[in-house]
Chains A and B, each alone.
Chain A
């Protein structure tokens, strides 16, 4: 890749600017625009980002596919039904219990599962669940991290000590184990915090669990950044103008965290989707009969001997989504901060 002169040398993130100290930047190019331009040039990252968007679009179109092409819904059993393929009538689920394989036609495009449910339809609906939980969890986790990281970094002292200790506490639990522990504990009675009341099988519960478990991984680096930012001249200037703490946090500190958050977000969504799949696989996430890629893999693994595709298909969707997000996320990170070693830890 050809390196452009001066404009390429200017970086988006403060540390990088310090490191590049003496060099002059070309006037008129905002850090965000430099980053976006750099991202635009990274074809591989864009292609994988597009791959993820295609998967999202496919899952959004699930109801259309179910009603117009497959003529069924994700929960409907077709145990005793027969379908005609190339003029031959076949059972959807054979008397021996073996479900039909891929037909590559409208109905049962990818075959049926043990209950005679259309896999292609369940795959798309499952994708909606997995993606919703993944993105929802990442959003929640980001929000919590911003609050925790900003408060801890800005106020330091006692507030910092308390928040850091709580983060350390969450951190010391092995993530998957903490996830299934919370999953089991909340499965029966649901959750009740003040006015918020959730059923045991609510889809919000896995999102909340994932958000809580993953908070330390983003809150800690954010705290570090806020600690550095609060000593900067522009914060001092704002204070000299009489701005209060809240105002400084919102209009001076937060905007400066945005590039870090943009870098973190795709990777967080990827790790949340993977986490959801693991929880559901273990039976502590999405509850059957609701489809999600994790529960579908779990079902598939049980029947892997009669139909390996039952496990392979949802797994491939999962891997493609994660790969799309990871490669795209890498590209975003390189674009915003070519020297950073930001990393989202995974379970």
Chain B
């Protein structure tokens, strides 16, 4: 186990390094234009471009540029040349909003997906199963930014059921926090509920005829106990792994569309707004931190998974 953890963490460090190089290349090497000019955003002056070129070392070899870029990203003096705001500070300020969105949505989609997946599996082939499976497919096919915009218009603006936009910190008022986030949570969850419930349904259908389930029934356990204790537990393993990975992906950037549509002012929205203004430094930092977060979460999930299921360590 110890060896596995060490190997996994070393691997992670390598990937993080590769990510930093890849991000650097995406922004400063691949594009067919002057990087200093792109960093400066729209309508820069000649002096600004010159200053950026010197600061970022664009007149020096590529590896110097790379080191300088990383220095800037991690020391916190990366600034947006469009708004003159320090990028890292802005990201830290927006992070709680992104986490609030992701955590709530993750709980929501897991709860609904388990209920739905189990129910449709038990009712497989009947009307309820077909109906709910169809609903799940519709959920998968609906882009979050579209359904989110409609929800925010109808439920938030027109009928005034939920507050439209706005964010209340959890520490200030937990109830208001949840009340303000309920629409974004729902919009973000729909896709995942669709995907997860379908996987769970097929997993349950696979295990429900296993020998140990028959044994459990033969012991005289109630159907409810058989389902919850024996079938569900085993069917959940792959989903829980996926859950961890998807949570990482949502925080790392997947929540971007939801945040934008509901105007949550999270990290993702910061990236999206910067893109709209062709403001490169924030996008660079967010892409890198996002990918970092995803990789770290994946490693943690792997290690947790390996502690739960020793077979995995061999591969």
Task: Choose among B38, B137, B191, B275 the residue that contacts A180 (Cβ–Cβ < 8 A).
Answer: B275
Q: Does B295 contact A (CB under 8 A)?
A: yes
Q: Which of A174, A305, A327 contacts B137 (CB 8 A)?
A: A327
Q: A173-B22, A177-B290, A180-B272 are in contact. List 9 more A-B contacts (CB 8 A).
A: A178-B253, A178-B287, A180-B271, A186-B31, A278-B257, A281-B145, A281-B257, A315-B150, A343-B195
Which residues in B have their C-beta under 8 angstroms from that of A281? 143, 145, 257
- Are B298 and A343 in contact (CB-based, < 8 A)? no
Q: A197 contacts which chain B residues (CB < 8 A)? A: 32
Verify if A295 is at the interface (C-beta below 8 Å from B). no
B212 at interface, CB cutoff 8 A = no
Cβ contact within 8 Å between A341 and B202: yes
Asked whether B283 is an interface residue with its Cβ less than 8 Å from the other chain, the reply is yes
Q: Can you identify 10 A-B contacts, CB atoms within 8 angstroms?
A: A176-B256, A178-B287, A180-B272, A180-B283, A281-B257, A301-B261, A304-B149, A323-B138, A346-B191, A347-B254
Q: Are A174 and B294 in contact (CB under 8 A)?
A: yes
Query: Do A297 and B290 have beta carbons less than 8 Å apart?
Result: no
Check if B236 is an interface residue, CB within 8 A of chain A: no
Structural contact, A177 and B253, CB atoms closer than 8 A: yes
B183 within 8 A of A: no
Residue in contact with B286 in the complex, picked from A177, A283, A308, CB distance below 8 Å? A177
Q: Nearest chain A CB to B214's CB is how many angstroms away? A: 20
Size of the chain B interface, CB-CB below 8 angstroms: 56
Residues of B within 8 A of A (CB): 15, 18-19, 22-23, 26-27, 30-34, 37-38, 137-138, 140-143, 145-147, 149-150, 153-154, 157, 191, 195, 199, 202, 249, 252-254, 256-257, 260-261, 268, 271-272, 275-276, 278, 280, 283-284, 286-287, 290-291, 294-295, 298
Q: Which residues of A contact B30 (CB under 8 A)?
A: 185-186, 191
Complex CA–CA separation, A323 to B97 (angstroms): 32
Contact with B along A188-201 (1 / 0, CB 8 A): 11111000010000
Q: Are A311 and B150 in contact (CB under 8 A)?
A: yes
A330 at the interface (CB under 8 A from B): yes
Question: Is the beta-carbon distance between B145 and A308 smaller than 8 angstroms?
Answer: no
Residue of B32, B38, B149, B202 touching A191 (CB-CB under 8 A):
B32
What DSSP secondary structure best describes chain B's contact surface? helix
A344 to nearest B CB, angstroms?
A: 10
Q: Is the CB of B137 within 8 A of A323?
A: yes
Tell whether, in the assembled complex, residue A270 and residue B141 are in contact, meaning their CB atoms are under 8 Å apart: yes
Interface residues of A in 247-282 (CB under 8 A from B): 270, 274, 277-278, 281-282
Question: Within the assembled complex, what's the spacing in Å between the Cα atoms of A330 and B191?
Answer: 16
Q: CA–CA, A315 to B48, complex, Å?
A: 42
A312:B287 contact, CB within 8 angstroms: no
Chain B residues whose C-beta falls within 8 Å of the C-beta of A183 in the assembled complex: 275
B-side contacts of A174, CB under 8 Å = 249, 252-254, 256, 290-291, 294
**In the complex, how many angstroms separate the beta carbon of B171 from the nearest chain A beta carbon?**
27
Bound Cα distance from A281 to B145, whole angstroms = 8
Task: Assess whether A19 is interfacial by the CB under 8 Å rule.
Answer: no
Query: Which of A185, A187, A308, A347 is in CB contact (< 8 Å) with B153?
Result: A308
CB 8 Å contact bits of A154-187 with B (1 = contact, 0 = none): 0000000000010011001111111011111111
List the 3 shortest-distance A-B pairs measured between CB atoms, nearest first.
A189-B33, A174-B253, A177-B253
Provide the bound-state CA to CA distance between A311 and B158, in Å. 15
Q: Which residues of chain B are within 8 angstroms of A178 by Cβ–Cβ distance? A: 253, 287, 291
B258 to chain A, nearest CB (A): 11
The answer to whether B141 touches A181 (Cβ under 8 A) is no
What is the CA–CA distance of A347 and B255 in the complex, to the nearest angstrom? 10
Bound-state CA distance A175–B252 (Å) is: 10
Q: Is B275 a contact partner of A184 (Cβ separation < 8 A)?
A: yes
- Expressed in whole angstroms, the Cα–Cα distance for A278 and B268 within the complex equals 13
Q: Are A188 and B138 in contact (CB under 8 A)?
A: no
Query: Which residues of chain A in 284-313 are interfacial with respect to chain B, using CB atoms and an 8 Å cutoff?
Result: 284, 297, 300-301, 304-305, 308, 311-312
Cβ of A243 within 8 Å of any chain B Cβ, yes or no, is no
CB–CB B32/A184 < 8 A? no
Contacts of A326 in B (CB 8 A): 137, 140-141
Q: With both chains docked as a complex, state the minimum distance between the C-beta of B299 and any C-beta of chain A, in angstroms.
A: 10
Please, how many angstroms separate the alpha-carbon atoms of A318 and B142 in the complex?
8
